[in-house]
Structure 1
Amino acid sequence: MVSLLRKLVPPSEYRKLLGAVVVIAANAGGAWTPIGDVTTTMLWIHGQISTLPTMTGLFVPSVVSLAVPLALMSFSSEVDDKGQNTDDVLASEQMAPRGQLVFAVGIGDLVFVPVFKSLTGLPPYLGILFGLGVLWILTDAIHYGESERQRLKVPQALSRIDTQGALFFLGILLSVSSLEAAGLLKEVANYLDAHIPSSELIASAIRVVSAIIDNVPLVAAAMGMYDLSAYPQDSQFWQLIAFCAGTGGSMLIIGSAAGVALMGMEKINFFWYLRKVSGFALAGYGAGIAAYLATQNLHFSPTTIANIPFISGT
């Protein structure tokens, strides 16, 4: 998304703000689906959350946590800055029909992963590998005999994978697993239970820490601290962990992979983000938590919305 912004908007303070909105949107959007973020995927694979309850329970809070910062930032003086006319850019860079086909199949493969797991009971990574195989066959077929378009095939795309990033996450998870095996995470969990009486407050505390430390190790630690016997699948605790860890990463630019990517691509200063964006992200997080607690206490979700007579048409 930041790469797209760089094509549409010239370098300016306005583009930096738009990049910050992308970070908030990426973290909020990743919280309400099992495949939307590394943290929610981890919780989904290990059984702490399931697909439909997570989507119905966290959709409204995620939208609120984006809408509130966006509304507040729209009153900022920097948004009066104007970017270039994007119509000419879009007109000159229309996606080719074959590109549209590959894009549609790729999105379909991602959406198919939860369905694959539900139908077969196999681990989600096998669904991803199956989708990759479909894309591999498709790109080989549509670019067969075109030597100048070899870079558009899956093997060439795989060669550009961020291996260092994958190894970084692997190292984090190995470290957290070592702490769990040593029993240290259980001791932390017992300490939190003794000093913090509410699971909501524990999840909120994790959110605060996730603004400083990447949310992946925090969620991995929470999974090692509490098992399903303490908090069953789809309980408020696990849903709040998924929501808080994701949206909490927007508080500081170093709190999420999206923020770190933005900082590197746009050369954004840590303190610029702190002054210009962190307050808005905090307001969105607070509003999202309030929306979540309200919907849970009222048993209110998108499913119940559809059952309201004047909406359902009955």
Structure 2
Amino acid sequence: MGVPFDFILFALTLLGVALFHHHTLQVALTGMVTIALYKLLLGDFGGVPGLPGLAGLLAHEWVTLANLLGLLLGFALLADHFERSHLTDLLPDVLPDDWKGGFWLLVIVAVISSFLDNIAAAMLGGAMAHVLYRGRVHVGYLAAIVAASNAGGAGSVVGDTTTTMMWIAGVSPVQVFEAYVGAIVAVLFFSVVAARQQHAYQPIMKDSPKQVNVDHARLAVVAIILVAAIATNVFLNLRHPQALNDWPAIGIAVWVALLATAGWRSPTWSLLPGALRGSIFLLALVMCAAMMPVKALPAASWATTLGLGFVSAVFDNIPLTALALRQGGYDWGFLAYAVGFGGSMIWFGSSAGVALCNMYPEGRSVVAWVRGGWHVAVGYVLGFAALLLVLGWAPDEHVQSRSKSQPVPAKSP
């Protein structure tokens, strides 16, 4: 049927992840090795056959993979610092006692994700939910936490790697900011549904535990780590964007901050083995996607952009965004919304989802995620419709030439 065999192998890998959610790591690694062997024996890597092609691909992707690994592991420890600070124990006195408490928690996650890495925002949201709902969090609410973290970063050039890529390529931050028209509509819809869903499953804690002692030192550690990540991201994007291509700078910054503060408040190092398994799973899927022979996208249109949101639920949104920038002709607010938010529809569709499922393994079921988090997909479509109705499709033809000469930054999802 004209479908490259690479894509068939990738589709079978994703199907295996969906069907055998208790063995996702083994399935992802098997798929990655199978695709690599097929391309070594019968295909090529971006036009270069054999081991030289594979070596070239790894040389191109190692920064992305190292950044992902550093962020996933580092933010797992950060979320534990945050939960052990006991600040979350004060939230029952601040949030409403009914379903609206869950609603406002999701709004908080979306807001902090506008200036914070979406992995960190999702992990902080998961830590807060763990306390507020006594460890019983509905899968649909987990999907909503991931969706809120991704939606919050969709309209900010420092909130998501895809939007940062657009900024570097010459897209105005104002054009990216337009994505919030869709993101706000989506968040309002799925947050109401998910909060009611969670309230029926496990009501929110009504009162804070007595004599809460907030560990201000751990909060300071959390702040230091986050400031290190944000400052590194913004400084390098403004001053030395090529450095993001050459080194996993943001992941390094997180770990330098973690190690520098370890003598003050020691992280829970025992969390790393579990987080490492989830991280390797995501890295394997990223490598599978990187080996796909995608050289062009369909002609730019609002329908194509809508479809890219669904594709990003199973395909790394970094190469999708890079291809769109090279091709040109997109409305960048629409694209930022689609590729930034679309990955929320499946648990492994974004790094935030994988990170959160390291905390909540029950989320590693595509069937349960889609069944419980159906409101995320509906919210995505409603948000996209809002963009069309409020702003209309207004493609920008001028970014294409600039983007060809711009480097693609390392992934910091």
| TM-score under structure 2 length normalisation | 0.51
Equivalent position of 1:29 in the other structure: 152
What residue identity is the alignment partner of 1:18? Y
Classify 1:204/1:106 alpha carbon distance in 2 versus 1 (closer, same or farther; 3 Å).
same
Q: Is the 8 A contact 1:33 1:51 kept in 2?
A: no
Matches within 5 A, 1:69-80: 69-73=190-194, 79=200
Equivalent position of 2:362 in the other structure: 267
In the alignment, structure 1 segments of 5+ residues that lack a partner are 144-148, 300-314
Q: Is the 8 A contact 1:207 1:248 kept in 2?
A: yes
Partner of 2:182: helix, strand, or coil? helix
What residue identity is the alignment partner of 1:5? A
What residue identity is the alignment partner of 1:293? L
Which stretch has the larger CA shift, 117-126 or 242-251? 117-126
Q: Is the 8 A contact 1:219 1:241 kept in 2?
A: no
In the alignment, structure 2 segments of 5+ residues that lack a partner are 1-124, 395-413
Post-superposition CA distance 1:97-155 (Å, at most 9, x none): 22222222222223323430254224344466456545644x26x63xxxxx5x349xx
Q: Is the 8 A contact 1:9 1:83 kept in 2?
A: yes
Matches within 5 A, 1:35-114: 35-37=158-160, 39-40=162-163, 43-44=165-166, 47-48=168-169, 52-53=173-174, 56-73=177-194, 79=200, 81-88=202-209, 92=212, 94=214, 96-114=215-233
Equivalent position of 2:346 in the other structure: 252
Q: Is the 8 A contact 2:144 2:376 kept in 1?
A: no
Partner of 1:83: helix, strand, or coil? coil
Q: Is the 8 A contact 1:24 1:250 kept in 2?
A: yes
Post-superposition CA distance 1:209-265 (Å, at most 9, x none): 233x1x42x4414524x453x317xx51x4433321232223334433444455562
| TM-score under structure 1 length normalisation | 0.65
What residue identity is the alignment partner of 1:251? M
What residue identity is the alignment partner of 1:112? A
Classify 1:54/1:161 alpha carbon distance in 2 versus 1 (closer, same or farther; 3 Å).
farther
Classify 1:39/1:52 alpha carbon distance in 2 versus 1 (closer, same or farther; 3 Å).
closer
Indicate whether 1:293 and 2:405 are aligned. no
Post-superposition CA distance 1:26-69 (Å, at most 9, x none): 2212323344345445x358x44657336522233222221111
* Root-mean-square deviation (Å): 4.0
Equivalent position of 1:200 in the other structure: 302
Q: State how far apart, in whole Å, the 2-side matches of 1:262 and 1:178 are.
A: 26
Classify 1:97/1:286 alpha carbon distance in 2 versus 1 (closer, same or farther; 3 Å).
same
Classify 1:227/1:56 alpha carbon distance in 2 versus 1 (closer, same or farther; 3 Å).
closer
The alignment covers a number of residue pairs equal to 264
Partner of 1:33: helix, strand, or coil? coil
Equivalent position of 1:9 in the other structure: 133
Q: State how far apart, in whole Å, the 1-side matches of 2:393 and 2:354 are.
A: 37
Deviation of 1:161 after TM superposition, in Å, equals 9.2
Equivalent position of 2:294 in the other structure: 185
Deviation of 1:277 after TM superposition, in Å, equals 2.4
Identity over the aligned pairs, expressed in percent? 20
Q: State how far apart, in whole Å, the 1-side matches of 2:213 and 2:172 are.
A: 36
Deviation of 1:185 after TM superposition, in Å, equals 2.2
Q: Is the 8 A contact 1:30 1:246 kept in 2?
A: yes
Q: State how far apart, in whole Å, the 2-side matches of 1:291 and 1:33 are.
A: 18
Equivalent position of 1:303 in the other structure: none
Classify 1:112/1:57 alpha carbon distance in 2 versus 1 (closer, same or farther; 3 Å).
farther
Classify 1:51/1:8 alpha carbon distance in 2 versus 1 (closer, same or farther; 3 Å).
farther
What residue identity is the alignment partner of 2:312? S
